[in-house]
Amino acid sequence: MNPKTNSQQAPVLGAEAIALLERLSNAVAVSGDEGEVRAIVLEQVKPHADEVKVDALGNVLVTRKAKTKDALRIMLAAHMDEIGFMLVDEEEGGLYRFATVGGIDVRQLVGKPVWVGKQHQAGIIGARPIHLTKRDEREHSIPLDQLRIDLGLNGKAKVGDRATFATTFRQSGPSLVGKALDNRFGVATLIELLKQAPQNVDLLLAFTVQEEVGLRGVRVAAYAFAPDAAIAVDSTPAADLPMWDGSENSKFNCRLDGGPAIYVADSGTLSDPRLIRHLSQTGDELGIPYQFRQPGGGGTDAGAIHKTRSGVPSISVSVPGRYAHSAVLIGRLADWQNTFNLLHAGISRMNRVLFEQPR
Amino acid sequence: MKALIQKLVESIGPSGYESNVRELIKTEIGDAASNFQVDPLGSLLVRTGKKTAAGMRVMLSAHMDEIGVIATHIDENGFVRLTTVGGVSPRTCYGGRVIFVSGVHGVIGGDRPDSPTSMHSIEQLFIDVGATSRENCPVKVGDFAAFDRPFLDLGDRLVAKSMDDRIAVAILVETLRALKGKETPHELVFVFSTQEEVGLRGATAAAYGVDPDLGLSVDVTGVGDTPKGAKMEVGLGKGPAVKVRDGRMLADPRIVRWMVDTAEKAQLPYQLEVLEAGTTDAAAIQLARAGVPAGCMSIPCRYIHSPSEMVDYNDVTNCVRLLVELLSHPIELK
Amino acid sequence: MTDLSAFLKELLSLPGLSGYEGPVREVIARTWQPLVDELSTSRLGCLHGLRRGSGSEPRPRILLSAHMDAIGLMVTQIQDGFLRFTEIGGVDPRILPGQQVTVHGRREIPGVVVQPPERLLPPGHGDQPVAMEYLFVDTGLLPEEVQQLVRTGDLISFATLPLELSGETLAGHSLDNRASVAAVTACLDELANTRHAWDVWAVASVQEEETLGGAITSPFDIRPDIAVAIDVTFAKGPGVSDYRGAPLGKGPTLGWGPNIHPALYKAFKELADQLDIPNSMETMPHMSGTDAMGLQIVAEGIPTMVISIPLRYMHTPVELIAMKDVTRVGHLMAEYIARLEPDFIDHIRWDD
């Protein structure tokens, strides 16, 4: 069989898939309050699933049975939550103190519009006029306790409400641009995989909560599924920008247009070597571009999955994205498509022999 | 036992890639046991004995993995940039040698330092494998390596890379051999665990799988007996150390008592250990399922996480004796 | 009825550091004995008290977790009769100089934490706070005696005795979190005369200050349908003036954030308002810093709630609470449990 024909048979992520990604990107789902994304996920998965459950933490657990008997149980995890803010104190005149949720660089906050609460109420984060700042003050980042979310003079929100950057999704040439594409890319990928589900495995999809605050949702999801193997599908930073001195950038993590980033090692997981081999061979044989994410820090849901029960062979595959954990992430449609293709083909080719050799 | 130690410390098994060590352990255990199992994270589980009415299921854990490095980038001239696996200090790297799991050898160099006294950061280090270009470099991004240093026998004192924790692997293998043919009321599960250096990951999964009544890890611990060293009581040659606490675990006081009482009764030397940083597989065992009484037997070790970790051979043999003593009788936790 | 104030004062007079909760567990067990149907101790030392409900089997279960362990110190080294030490739980070394302590050696030995004079410290130390590694405990005993009585790994607990202050407030060490143990006891007291459909598992948990060990393990076999962590929180007062503090004596706080199931928050909030129990929301944007962090993620996950008693001067030997807040928490939980219908689990939903 000509490998090229095989890869062309893989389904295309067209206008409909992009529209779904857009809805997901524009939804607000700060860790612990993932309801808005959960609603979209539930609506999308129900027609295609054999079983759908929302668990005690708010994870959506979806099962789609194989057409064969004694099939491998393969778990795919994508987190629904995003970084953001929680209002923690109300002051006069529509001003609110807030805390950050998840890893946010305070230098990213100033001068940004935000959406507050379930109604996406408009707000802004301002700063002291430059005229009133002193030179030494300008040498330091503006600390969080000096910042407020301003809802306008009559703005009314509740302490405890969540907020996030107000960024509307758009396409720009080959790129997809939006907030929270870490990890709505993963959420959309799982939904599309369910719609075109490989028939050879029991597909166990976990749309997880609280990843950004410590991989908490996925831990109980993996316990409930007790899978034979798992793949975390996420988005990983592409730091493929020039170095300050023009020297070779050896710390790019991964690159846009390089295809899905396969993890070898991050701070939470040493990927199962059998799965690294399997996915890279799948890419090589079918002509699906992929790249190895540079080993190093960071982490995904795999960090919790692989330690569940007696251990689960696990790996992560990510869609590259620039500027994660800020107001805007830029990814490529082609990378997303190839991530989908690699996962679809990789899962379709999985069988028990893969795990018979000890790790 | 020194020959066994040498074989173990000279094998290569950075976290996540422990299969060489695992095969060696199986060979060395030979017919001292017959029930071998490899779990999904690669830990080797060796079971002996049957749990009697007076017995327990006891999990003993020594980790097979060692600290090392991973290739992160091959530059246009064939130099390999790296990141660390486990707690590797750049202090111990420059000029050192590594060996990749694939067998490729290399030496560690570094960018020109900012000043003659400044230390390289990990990002400023590279591995030179003798390549001249990206194309002819035999290393790929994602390849794992361990430090390369031969075993050194100084008589009572033994020196090697990966004494942490192959010395404990040797101790458990030797304990298994010593227990062969001996009566024990317990089901003993010897776990040679993986990925300890990156966060007790192998032991976390293994403890769930084994579901023990009692857990004991065997690992190295720091000492306070070197010039201007840490403020710590433990020293080389004063016997195996019974851990009271470390950075992440409060040893079960009943287990501390059991170990101390057994050592005193058998007239074996021991010392008490309070370690302020670091931890062992026992921390993971303790929190498995509904909780497991857990403790740790430590081998005092100098220069931990350097390529020249030093232990005292008498501590090692006394540790085996104490383990045999501990495991041969019913255990009363009080 | 338990004399709550006397019970709490007894708890505050006992050691029971993380990992070594035995002494305090015994007293709690004795007090809970008449209030529960079954008492047991987990393999890590948590005390489990079960009050069976009146519903038909299989009954749903609610778990109340209040940690009984306390912060303190541990001997690391003995030098010329002086004890060097490290901490158990989070101890600010600046609160230590001059503290009266008890060293738990072969027998209990009173001691005091001493700060060496500046000239015995690293040069240039000035009036900087002295790090823990340079502090000592002096027992007043001769070095030979100390060698015989004390070993590495022995515990050192605060010796400060409980102290009643005006306005029914109580000061002492380890009110974090024995005030909550008292609240759970008040709840059991009230339930003794109340019909409740659900099984109630009262847990005095261990190692919260170090590993969350009790909270991570106890629910594994119990598998509750709901878990409530009861702990203390910052009360407004010296050093705590902004939104992070709740007023002392003005009722419990109800936690809100990723550790808390919103349906439980809503249920407790509505009930507290209905019962005229003053309360305030405590935002917990990340983690709650309580047993709930462990409880929530055991096995397949547990809907979890956090209720806190405001307390001043946390992690010092003179923590301060208002007794009224303790009884309010006990009453709120008892009323909540009494109202739990057999099918309430179906109402713990994510209302998306």
Catalytic option among A22, A36, A82, A211: A211
10 Å CB burial of residue A103 (0-12, 13-18, 19+) is exposed
On the question of pLDDT at B224 being above 50, the answer is yes
The proportion of chain B whose per-residue pLDDT surpasses 70, expressed as a percent, equals 100
Q: In whole angstroms, what is the distance from residue B219 CA to residue B282 CA?
A: 9
Whether residue C144 lies in the annotated active site = no
Summarize pLDDT for A35-80 with one digit per residue, the tens. Answer: 999 999 999 999 999 999 999 999 999 999 999 999 999 999 999 9
Given this model, what pLDDT does residue B116 score? 85
**What confidence tier does A4 reach under pLDDT thresholds 50, 70, 90?**
very low
On the question of pLDDT at A5 being above 60, the answer is no
The proportion of chain A whose per-residue pLDDT surpasses 70, expressed as a percent, equals 97
Q: Which chain B residue has the Cα nearest residue A295?
A: B72
Summarize pLDDT for A276-319 with one digit per residue, the tens. Answer: 999 999 999 999 999 999 999 999 999 999 999 999 999 999 99
Given this model, what pLDDT does residue B117 score? 87
On the question of pLDDT at B41 being above 50, the answer is yes
Given this model, what pLDDT does residue C351 score? 75
Mean local confidence (pLDDT), A210-239: 98
On the question of pLDDT at A6 being above 60, the answer is no
C285 reaches B (C-beta below 8 A): no
Given this model, what pLDDT does residue C66 score? 98
- Tally A–B CB contacts below 8 A: 81
Residues in chain C within 8 Å Cβ distance of B252: 19, 44
B253 reaches C (C-beta below 8 A): yes
B230 reaches C (C-beta below 8 A): no
The closest CB to that of B253, out of C20, C46, C75, belongs to: C20
**What confidence tier does B40 reach under pLDDT thresholds 50, 70, 90?**
very high
Measured between CA atoms, how close is C58 to chain B, in angstroms?
21
Report chain C's mean pLDDT, rounded to a whole number. Answer: 96
- Residue B232: alpha-carbon gap to chain centroid: 21
Mean local confidence (pLDDT), B25-54: 96
Selected residues 70-89 of chain A with any CB under 8 Å from a CB in chain C: 85-89
The closest CB to that of A295, out of B38, B42, B70, belongs to: B70
A264 reaches B (C-beta below 8 A): yes
Given this model, what pLDDT does residue A7 score? 43
Residues in chain A within 8 Å Cβ distance of B198: 270
* Range from A1-10, A254-263, B254-263, B278-287 carrying the lowest mean pLDDT: A1-10
Mean local confidence (pLDDT), A246-270: 96
B23 reaches A (C-beta below 8 A): no
From start to end of chain A, where are the E strands? 51-54, 60-64, 72-79, 84-90, 95-101, 112-116, 121-125, 149-150, 162-165, 170-172, 175-178, 201-208, 229-237, 261-262, 291-292, 314-321, 329-332
Q: Which of C292, C45, C95, C30 is nearest to C180 (CA)?
A: C292
Top residue of B213, B242, B250, B286 to mutate, by most chain C CBs within 10 Å, is: B250
**What confidence tier does B231 reach under pLDDT thresholds 50, 70, 90?**
confident
Cα C250 to Cα C163, C164, C279, C310, C311, distances in angstroms: 20, 18, 7, 8, 11
A357 reaches B (C-beta below 8 A): no
Given this model, what pLDDT does residue C147 score? 96
Catalytic option among C87, C190, C208, C282: C208
Cross-strand pairs, C5: none
The closest CB to that of C258, out of A97, A213, A219, belongs to: A213
On the question of pLDDT at A8 being above 50, the answer is no
Given this model, what pLDDT does residue A10 score? 59
Task: Kindly determine whether residue C283 and residue A100, on different chains, have CB atoms separated by under 8 Å.
Answer: no
Chains adjacent to A (≥3 CB pairs closer than 8 angstroms): B, C
With tokens 């980033």, the residue in question is A261
Mean local confidence (pLDDT), C66-84: 97
Residues in chain A within 8 Å Cβ distance of B208: 309-311
Given this model, what pLDDT does residue C255 score? 98
Query: What is the interface pTM, i.e. ipTM, of the complex?
Result: 0.94
B92 reaches A (C-beta below 8 A): no
Measured between CA atoms, how close is B281 to chain A, in angstroms?
13
Mean local confidence (pLDDT), B87-102: 96
Q: In this structure, what token pair is assigned to residue B260?
A: 């101390």
Given this model, what pLDDT does residue A1 score? 39
Task: Kindly determine whether residue C258 and residue A97, on different chains, have CB atoms separated by under 8 Å.
Answer: no
Task: Kindly determine whether residue C300 and residue A223, on different chains, have CB atoms separated by under 8 Å.
Answer: yes
Instruction: Return the number of other C-beta atoms located less than 10 Å from residue B262's C-beta.
Output: 20
Given this model, what pLDDT does residue B31 score? 94
Handedness of CA C51, C54, C56, C62 (dihedral sign): negative
Given this model, what pLDDT does residue A9 score? 56
Mean local confidence (pLDDT), B92-103: 96
A292 reaches B (C-beta below 8 A): yes
Q: What is the reported pTM? A: 0.95
Residues in chain A within 8 Å Cβ distance of B201: 270, 306-307
Task: Kindly determine whether residue C153 and residue B245, on different chains, have CB atoms separated by under 8 Å.
Answer: yes
Task: Kindly determine whether residue C218 and residue B290, on different chains, have CB atoms separated by under 8 Å.
Answer: yes
Given this model, what pLDDT does residue A2 score? 44
